[in-house]
Amino acid sequence: MSDMLKSYRFREERESDWRKLDRILTRAENSGVKALSDEDMMALPHLYRQAVSSLSVARSISLDQNVITYLEGLCTRAYFYVYGARTSMGERMAQFIRIDWPEAVRGAVFSTILAALFLFGGAALAFFLCLQDMDWYWTIHGQTFGEIRTPDASVDELLSTIYTEPGDIGQDRLTAFAGFLFNNNAQIALFAFALGFAFGIPTAWLLVWNGVILGSMYAVFWDKGLGYEFTGWLMIHGATELFAIVLAGAGGFVIGGAVAFPGRKSRLASARDSGRKAATIAMGCVIMLIIAAVLESFGRQLINSDTIRYAIAGTTLVFWLLYFYLPRRRPGT
């Protein structure tokens, strides 16, 4: 009918294709790519391009609000679907473990050294202060009831916290404690990462403070001549856990550095590029802390030999160092 509106005819000719695209998208969004038939997959790019061109034409010839709103929404959804990532969760995880994580860590060597200096610098500071005058311990920790590991404790009491007797009643309580510790440590790690945004200053403070707590505790054991035993007790999981905390801090410094000194990029672009890398490091820290918690709750309670403890600590440390820093061929090159 020649008397019809142009925009009406335009719509009439294309409407069934729009609806078809809509149906395919809805199915794909709800149940994934696997729900699409081969026929749908073949039709999708064509339907998408048609919808996008319909939208540009509709904007210039049609005054039907509903059509334009509908097409706008349809094209946006289709765009994100067609150009979005369609890798499965498994593939993403494999990519993360094999490439993204070690690469991000390797790219942040300077920040990692800086974070390690803050953590262990804080530890060394507190260690030597406490060795000279044990009152520093109380200044740092305050008076806490129920804590056995204080300067006032005897050698036997301290030893009892390091080794577990067979049939110890406190064993499952320690497991609960490990869960609590993981929760706490992982939250601190994420905090250290996130606080990097404020130019890394709070991150540095957080690292130093955790180092101070560690160093003062170390001094208590060292003072009683238990340095060797305590190191084994701490490092069986500490090699992983402290490494994770250092890396979380490094993630924070990466962002802080990018925000403070963007170089040739704009501050926003610099923050964006480094933020994604740093987030990869932080995600890796969470994984490391889970491993540390497992080592802590099972390894430490079941293994009471210093030699084996040292062996495990050494092995994990070497493993992490090789995993992160061993030069490797990039896949695809």
Nearer to other proteins, 21 or 158 (CB): 21
Task: Count other Cβ atoms within 10 Å, centred on residue 284.
Answer: 23
By CB under 8 A, tell whether 46 contacts other proteins.
Answer: no
Q: Which of 13, 19, 315, 319 binds other proteins (CB under 8 A)?
A: 19
Burial 185-211 (b: 16+ CB within 10 A, else e): bbebbbebbbbbbebbebbbebbbbbb
How far is CA 232 from each of CA 101, 149, 303, rounded to the nearest angstrom?
A: 28, 16, 11
Distance from C-alpha of 261 to C-alpha of 275, rounded to nearest angstrom: 14
Nearer to other proteins, 12 or 165 (CB): 12
By CB under 8 A, tell whether 32 contacts other proteins.
Answer: yes
By CB under 8 A, tell whether 20 contacts other proteins.
Answer: no
Distance from C-alpha of 61 to C-alpha of 14, rounded to nearest angstrom: 14
Q: Which of 46, 98, 173, 328 binds other proteins (CB under 8 A)?
A: 173
Q: For the chain, how big is the Rg over CA atoms in Å?
A: 29
- What secondary structure does DSSP assign to 237-283, as a single string? HHHHHHHHHHHHHHHHHHHHHHHH--TTS-HHHHHHHHHHHHHHHHH
The closest of 244, 250, 253 to 196, measured between CA atoms, is: 253
By CB under 8 A, tell whether 330 contacts other proteins.
Answer: no
Site for other proteins in 219-258 (CB under 8 A): 255
Please state the closest distance from residue 167 (CB atom) to other proteins, in A. 16
Please state the closest distance from residue 225 (CB atom) to other proteins, in A. 33
Nearer to other proteins, 130 or 293 (CB): 293
- Could you tell me which stretch among 105-113, 128-136, 290-298, 324-332 binds other proteins (CB under 8 A)? 290-298
Q: Which of 24, 47, 77, 249 binds other proteins (CB under 8 A)?
A: 77
How far is CA 322 from each of CA 200, 316, 317, 319, rounded to the nearest angstrom?
A: 27, 10, 9, 5
By CB under 8 A, tell whether 8 contacts other proteins.
Answer: yes
Please state the closest distance from residue 215 (CB atom) to other proteins, in A. 24
By CB under 8 A, tell whether 298 contacts other proteins.
Answer: no
Q: Which of 55, 119, 162, 217 binds other proteins (CB under 8 A)?
A: 55
